[in-house]
Every structure is written in C-alpha cells, then in structure tokens.
C-alpha cells in the first residue's frame, strides 16, 4: 500500500557544494516548513531565481517562499552576529524573515573566543592545516560535547550566562595565550554584546521539536536541509579532513529533534563531476586543463569564503559509500551542463589499493591517500544541456552517461539540474510523490 511522503531529507553525497540550496528552494514550493539540522555559517547555499542570486549561510533555503516557516534545529552551532546580519540583509531586500524563522533554544552559540581559537590553531598547524574556514565552528562543537557550551536559552538568565562565560574564557584564554601565543578574548565584551542582542534573538527562539511535531500531526510537509556533504562527516568522512558535525541523513533525528521513523525519503545530491574545498584526499582530482575547465565553467568558488574548489571526475566509489550511509532513496544530479562540450568524460568506478580492489571509499584520510582510481571513459556530447527540462531533450550521450552513473552506484535518478536557476530542472520522480 502506498502512502504520502511528508518528510524529505536533502543531503550532499560528496564533499559539499553539490547545489543543495537550489534544490531545497525548488522543492519548497510543495512544503510548509524547511529545517536546518546541522553545521554553522561556514557553508553557504546559493539560490538563483529569475536571474537574481541570493546566498544563505544559516537561514534555511526555503525562506524565499512567503508561505514557508523556517526552522534552525539544535544540531546547528549558531553565530548570533552572523544570523542577525543575514536576517538584516534579506529584510533590506524586502523579504519578511523574522516572523517566519524559529530557532531552537538548545542551539549552542559561536562566540568570539571560538573564532579566535579556530584561527590561532589553524595558523599554528602550518603545513598540516585542515583548511577550516576559521569561523569558530569546530571549537563551538567541542564546547557542546564538553558540556560547557553557551546555548541560546542561556540568554534568558544573565547571571547564569555571566558565570558560564567566566568559566569558558578562563579555559580558552589559557590556551590562546599560553599555548598558541594569541591574544585573550574579553569576557565582559562578549557578555555586553550578547545582552545587547538578546531580546531580538530570544524573540526568534522556540521549542523546535514540539513545533515540528505539531506540523507533522497536521499532515504538513517538511523538508530537512543539511549543510556540507557526507564525505565531510566527522564520523564517516575523510577524517581528519572533515567538518565538526554529522552531515548524514541520520543526523536529522538528533539535530532537529524528530524520530528517524518520521523520514519518508532521502534525496542525495551529487554533481556530475566532483569537487572539494580545502585540504584532504581527493582520488579523482584533476591537475590539468580539464580540471581548470570544470572550475571555470562551473564557477567553482565557495559561496561564503570565495575559496577555489578542487575539481575532478565523478567518483562512483565515493558515492557508493554515501548511499550506503544515508540510505538514499533517489539522486539529484547537479551541474550536468558543466560537462557540455568535453570530447570525453571519465568516471572513477573503484580503486586499486595495497589491500586489493576497493568498491567503496575507505575510512580515514590515510587509507584514501593510498587509493589509485580506476576509470571508465565515456564519449562526451556536442549539444548543450543547459536549461533543459525534459529527459528526452538531453543528448543521447548525456543520457547514457547518467544511466551508467545510476547503474554504478545502485540508486535511481530522481532529478537533474541543468543550470543554476530554479526552473532549470528535469524531474524524474518527485520526492514528495506518493510512495
């Protein structure tokens, strides 16, 4: 018996930057709420609607739809200043944000001392740096699991907030000054700054799990939006060159406060090729003119940091790992049009390693570094796929490439993005269709 799909999770299946923002925005036409469940303001989602570009960092991508309520779950580490700056930027453009945004009271806050720690640690590592954005994400998550985080709800009690800040700064300033040779961060300035914006932040705060439960009880559709990508997951990615949170579909339960049985469909996003920002292993990376072509045509620069992305061929072994971990129901292939005009296209189908042939990406950076990709070569296509909206209109070579991709990873293709604009999409199966 089929049943209506109400709750859909969107995850990146590579190293992030798969184009999640556009797809969330596209699917939001059919939902009542969009929920961000992990990460911080170190990754951005770029949306293009009627040629106008909007970059979102913390606020869920559904905010451009006036009928939608957006939620930031407790799995997100929240920079108060970044959030308010983003709200002001959107509202200055005429968008109503604050009446439609709810932020979990349990969100840990990113404080100036976290930013100072992040930057000082990275500088001290020299050649061994991970490639962090230096925005305090990692140190904030460390305080969360260390049970010393300042959370949004702490702004309700100034006395308790002052005590927590005292303990936090005593610890972190010792590291900053004594071990890293950096400046101490002022506890009193942090307290005053938080108190100044507390009324506005608390007006946005809510018991997000309860609100989501009410939405589900009404039969409303919800879309859960992740940041980064599976291969940057702190447990399952190319450790230690990973982010500080769980980026996989299973993180929705902890990061938004809903039971895993409530999830009806997992949409995994992957580019038609592969990219990576920052340091870390990347088996199919290209160091030639083709890699430069992909970077230039794909505009492969970070939407928040502006950092150039490393480019390479599509990696089926890496995607198999992501599908395994996320329980992907269907794939959305993005940036197909970037491959237009190439005489031939290669895809990594597995690896040679000291342990023998591998069909999935191994755990840990050291193991991945020993892998040598095995490639298949496919003919490219002369015609343009940019902006196409029907499968039948794709060049036959592009169709065969996509069918082989789906066959290799064992997951059906639900959607294909053929350009940055919302409407430049081929729909094969709607994630919210009755299953």
* Distance of alpha carbon 58 from alpha carbon 201, whole angstroms: 14
Whole-angstrom CA distances from 321 to 78, 102, 237, 408 are 29, 34, 10, 12
* Distance of alpha carbon 258 from alpha carbon 8, whole angstroms: 13
Has 41 been annotated as catalytic?
no
Has 45 been annotated as catalytic?
yes
Buried b (16+ CB within 10 A) or exposed e, 103-121: bbbbbbbbbbbbbbbbbbb
* Distance of alpha carbon 11 from alpha carbon 270, whole angstroms: 9
Which residue of the set 32, 41, 45, 114 is catalytic? Answer: 45
**Following CA atoms 322, 309, 115, 252 in sequence, which dihedral angle do they give, to the nearest 10 degrees?**
-20
Closest CA to 247 of 261, 223, 268: 268
**31, 58 contact by CB (below 8 A):** no
Residues 6+ apart with CB under 8 A from 434: 2, 3, 4, 5
Report helix, strand or coil for 36: strand
| Active site members | 17, 45
């Amino acid at each position: 018996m089929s049943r209506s799909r109400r709750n859909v999770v969107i995850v990146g299946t590579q190293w992030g930057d798969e184009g999640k923002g556009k797809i969330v925005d596209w699917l939001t036409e059919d939902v009542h709420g969009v929920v961000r469940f992990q990460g911080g303001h170190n990754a951005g989602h770029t949306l293009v609607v009627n040629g106008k570009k909007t970059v979102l960092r913390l606020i869920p991508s559904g905010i451009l739809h006036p009928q939608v309520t957006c939620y930031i779950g407790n799995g997100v580490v929240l920079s108060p200043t970044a959030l308010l700056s983003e709200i002001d930027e959107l509202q200055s453009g005429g968008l109503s944000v604050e009446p439609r945004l709810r932020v979990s009271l349990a969100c840990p806050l990113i404080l100036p001392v976290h930013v100072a720690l992040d930057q000082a640690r990275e500088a001290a590592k020299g050649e061994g740096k991970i490639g962090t954005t230096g925005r305090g994400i990692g140190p904030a998550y460390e305080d969360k699991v260390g049970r010393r985080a300042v959370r949004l709800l702490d702004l309700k009690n100034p006395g308790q907030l002052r005590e927590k800040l005292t303990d936090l700064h005593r610890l972190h300033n010792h590291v900053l000054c004594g071990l890293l040779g950096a400046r101490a961060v002022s506890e009193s300035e942090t307290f005053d700054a938080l108190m100044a914006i507390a009324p506005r932040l608390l007006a946005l705060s809510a018991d997000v799990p309860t609100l989501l439960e009410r939405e589900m009880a009404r039969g409303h559709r919800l879309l859960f939006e992740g940041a980064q990508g599976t291969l940057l997951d702190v447990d399952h990615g190319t450790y230690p060159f990973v982010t500080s949170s769980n980026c996989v579909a299973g993180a929705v339960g902890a990061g938004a406060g809903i039971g895993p049985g409530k999830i009806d469909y997992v949409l995994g996003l992957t580019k038609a090729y592969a990219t990576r920002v920052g340091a870390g292993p990347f088996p199919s990376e290209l160091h030639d003119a083709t890699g430069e072509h992909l970077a230039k045509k794909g505009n492969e620069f970070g939407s928040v940091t502006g950092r150039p992305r490393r480019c390479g061929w599509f990696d089926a072994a890496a995607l198999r790992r992501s599908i395994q971990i996320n329980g992907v129901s269907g794939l959305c292939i993005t940036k197909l049009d970037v491959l237009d005009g190439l005489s031939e296209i290669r895809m990594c189908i597995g690896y040679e390693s000291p342990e023998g042939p591998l069909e999935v990406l191994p755990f840990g950076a050291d193991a991945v570094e020993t892998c040598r990709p095995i490639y298949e070569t496919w003919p490219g296509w002369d015609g343009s796929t940019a902006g196409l909206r029907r499968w039948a209109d794709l060049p036959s070579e592009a169709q065969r490439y996509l069918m082989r991709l789906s066959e290799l990873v064992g997951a059906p293709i639900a959607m294909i993005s053929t350009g940055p604009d919302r409407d430049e999409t081929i729909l094969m199966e709607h994630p919210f269709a009755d299953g």
